[in-house]
Homo-oligomer: A and B are copies of this chain.
Amino acid sequence: MLTLYDFLPSGNGYKVRLLLSQLDIPFKLVEKNILKGETRTPEFLAINPDGRIPTVQFDDGRTLAQSNAIIFYFAEGTAFLPNDRFERAQALQWMFFEQYSHEPYIAVARFWIHELHKREEWADRLKERWQKGYQALDIMERHLQGHRFFAGDSYSIADISLYAYTHVAEQGDFDLSRYPSIRGWLDRVADQPGHVLITQSVFG
């Protein structure tokens, strides 16, 4: 059976858990607590030299890392990856946007505040995270004013990728009340068949 090395509060891990659940693919969950350095042990670095979760391991021992590459792998040939070549590239465009312009600000602010409880101590460093995080949300809002989803007309891994940290952005003290189109999209994503919550460990 597929093994997923993961840390349950992680939005990056949640992307994989959500898609595998929606695809009905069973997996064995092996928790690695990043707060305790469990992804930096020699044993785990042999599985992923980059020392990060999520990482999946197939029965034959092969491994795959990077949340967005993992969900691309499992989405190929399914309705979660657009059939159209341009829309497939659009999905990747938003997924690279997520890792470059969204996650480093929105996920990191959430991690510092919600996991590390450094809101007061790191107030200065948080300012840049909030400013750039809001820039990412502004771009998402603008796109969603004219579109129901991020790539093509239907729910795809681009939505899963952006949903993961956007739907918990308030845990990083981002105010989503000013983003009506994002809030409508969050509801549409949560309404998809097979949706699970970030705190739900399916099959695990």
A178 at the interface (CB under 8 A from B): no
Stretch of A20-28, A30-38, A67-75, A166-174 that contacts chain B: A67-75
Question: Chain A interface secondary structure, helix, strand, loop or mixed?
Answer: helix
Q: Mark A74-110, 1 if CB is under 8 A from B, else 0.
A: 0010000000011011101101110111011000000
Interface residue total, chain A, C-beta cutoff 8 A: 31
| Listed stretches A3-11, A58-66, A183-191, A193-201; interface member | A58-66
| Copies of chain A in the complex | 2
Bound form: Cα–Cα A73–B104 in Å: 25
Q: Does A142 contact B (CB under 8 A)?
A: yes
Q: Does A70 contact B99, Cβ atoms closer than 8 Å?
A: no
Known: A49-B143, A50-B139, A96-B96. A89 touches B101 (CB 8 A): no
User: Which residue from chain B places its CB closest to the CB of A89 in the assembled complex?
Assistant: B73
Given contacts A73-B89, A85-B73, A92-B72, whether A66 and B143 have CB atoms under 8 Å apart is no
Interchain residue pairs with CB less than 8 A apart (8): A62-B86, A64-B93, A66-B100, A69-B89, A70-B89, A72-B92, A73-B85, A76-B85
Minimum Cβ distance to chain B for residue A4 (Å) = 15
Which of A65, A73, A92 neighbours the largest number of chain B CB atoms within 10 Å of its CB? A92
> Beyond A49-B143, A50-B101, A139-B49, is A69–B96 a contact (Cβ under 8 Å)?
yes
